């Protein structure tokens, strides 16, 4: 399998959907270099709407702490059973732990907004997992159904589980979260800079997370050279997806009426589902026996 070619092809499908515009000056808390994937277009002006949800209304870092605790508990169960859902559970836990460090260090300009986004985002994931295991599958988005069915059937590689769940959670869930919590602060400042600011930290997590996945769950997870172009391509794809997420959230927030919002939502659902079908095909695994045998002795 040429992972490099697959990842770059997926990136192209993202970049080619973005309209061209003169580059905008990056204004990030944690990274000030111009990024050609996420800094090509400035954020669209979206009116401020206060977040009124019941999940983490104060945006406290304690919300992230509670999320980490729940993720640890869920991962412990999945890892002990060598459930293929453990792949994403581990990756998401490591990302959330890093978000907590970033919040504590002042990496983001608005940590209240970040805390709300983090909590609402994680709750969508928890809800999808709980609904799936409760047999309430009709209510689950298609991209998640594809990802979770592949995990249950053990039909994709560990990297396939990772990509399928990342796709469902980023390309499907994230736009709704951003639109709900808000794209603009009360003073009219866009939250796009904070959204972009996490990208370099996500890039830095690729190597250690891939190595841990390989050590615990699937020894083939990092068979390709994650220190070279392939890790760069993987990080670039995540930035491309996150850029698409922001633009889709803008479409949701700026939709004029129910029909326009339905069209925006349909575009999100169809894009995520299409990506899921591609990933499932590319990362198909005819036999999970070796992977499961490895996990049985290394999952801890």
- Please check the confidence at residue 107 and state whether its pLDDT lies above 70: yes
Please count the helices (runs of H) and the strands (runs of E) in the chain. 12, 0
> Domain range for residue 181?
3-298
Q: How far apart are the first and last CA of the chain?
A: 28
Q: Phi/psi at 219 (nearest 5 deg)?
A: -65, -15
Between 28 and 278, whose confidence is greater? Answer: 278
Q: Which residues contact 138 (CB under 8 A, 6 or more apart)?
A: none
* Per-residue pLDDT at 92 exceeds 60: yes
pLDDT computed for residue 43 by the predictor: 85
Q: What is the pLDDT of residues 171-214, one digit of tens each?
A: 999 999 999 999 999 999 999 999 999 999 998 998 899 999 99
Nearest to 102 by CA among 73, 61, 70: 61
Q: What is the pLDDT of residue 230?
A: 57
pLDDT of residue 14 exceeding 70, the answer is: no
Position 27 pLDDT exceeds 80: no
Axis-axis angle for helices 111-133, 61-80 (nearest 10): 30
Alpha-carbon distance of 205 to 118, in angstroms, equals 17
Q: How far is it between the farthest Cα atoms of the chain?
A: 55
User: Taking the C-alpha atoms of 33, 119, 278 and 37 in order, what is their torsion angle to the nearest 10 degrees?
Assistant: -10
Domain count, the chain: 1
Report the pLDDT value the prediction gives residue 108, as an integer from 0 to 100: 95
Please give the residue that has the higher pLDDT: either 32 or 78. Answer: 78
Tokens, residue 53? 């949800």
Residue of 65 and 224 predicted with greater confidence = 65
Arithmetic mean of pLDDT, 110-132: 97
Residues in the chain: 300
Each residue's pLDDT tens digit, 125-183: 999 999 999 999 999 999 999 999 999 999 999 999 999 999 999 999 999 999 999 99
* Res 41: pLDDT: 77
Stretch 46-65: mean pLDDT? 96
Q: What mean pLDDT is reported for the chain? A: 86
What confidence score (pLDDT) does residue 237 get? 81
**Six token digits for residue 29:** 């808390």
Q: What is the pLDDT of residue 235?
A: 72
- Count the alpha carbons within 13 Å of 249 in the hemisphere toward its beta carbon: 30
pLDDT given for residue 20 in this prediction: 31
pLDDT at residue 28 is higher than 50: no
pLDDT category of residue 37 using cuts at 50, 70 and 90: low
> For the residues 30-41, what does the mean pLDDT come to?
54
Please say if the pLDDT value at position 98 is more than 60: yes
Residue with tokens 């000056």: 25
Kindly indicate the confidence band of residue 17, based on its pLDDT and cuts at 50, 70 and 90: very low
Whether 284 has a pLDDT exceeding 60, the answer reads: yes
Q: What are the φ/ψ torsions at residue 284 (nearest 5 degrees)? A: -60, 140
What confidence score (pLDDT) does residue 238 get?
84
Rounded to whole angstroms, the Cα distance separating 157 from 151 reads 9
CB 268 within 8 A of CB 171: yes
């Amino acid at each position: 399998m040429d992972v490099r070619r697959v990842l770059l092809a997926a990136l192209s499908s993202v970049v080619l959907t973005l309209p061209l515009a003169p580059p905008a000056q990056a204004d990030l808390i944690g990274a000030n270099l111009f990024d050609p994937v996420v800094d090509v277009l400035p954020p669209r002006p979206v009116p401020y709407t206060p977040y009124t949800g019941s999940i983490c209304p104060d945006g406290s870092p304690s919300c992230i702490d509670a999320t980490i605790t729940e993720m640890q508990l869920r991962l412990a169960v999945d890892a002990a059973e060598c459930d293929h859902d453990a792949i994403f559970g581990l990756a998401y836990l490591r990302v959330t732990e890093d978000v907590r460090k970033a919040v504590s260090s002042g990496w983001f300009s608005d940590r209240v907004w970040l805390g709300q986004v983090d909590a609402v985002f994680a709750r969508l994931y928890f809800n999808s997992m709980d609904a799936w295991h409760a047999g309430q599958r009709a209510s689950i988005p298609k991209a998640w159904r594809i990802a979770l069915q592949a995990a249950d059937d053990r039909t994709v590689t560990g990297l396939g589980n990772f990509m399928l769940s990342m796709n469902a959670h980023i390309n499907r869930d994230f736009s709704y979260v951003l639109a709900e919590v808000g794209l603009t602060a009360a003073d009219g400042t866009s939250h796009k800079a904070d959204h972009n600011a996490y990208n370099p930290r996500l890039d830095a997590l690729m190597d250690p997370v891939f190595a841990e996945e390989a050590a615990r769950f699937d020894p083939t997870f990092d068979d390709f050279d994650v220190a070279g172009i392939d890790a760069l391509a993987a990080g670039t794809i995540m930035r491309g997806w996150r850029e698409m997420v922001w633009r889709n959230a803008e479409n949701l927030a700026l939709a004029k009426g129910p029909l326009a919002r339905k069209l925006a939502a349909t575009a999100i659902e169809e894009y995520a589902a299409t990506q899921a079908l591609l990933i499932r095909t590319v990362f198909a695994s005819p036999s999970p026996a070796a992977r499961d045998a490895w996990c049985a002795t290394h999952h801890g």
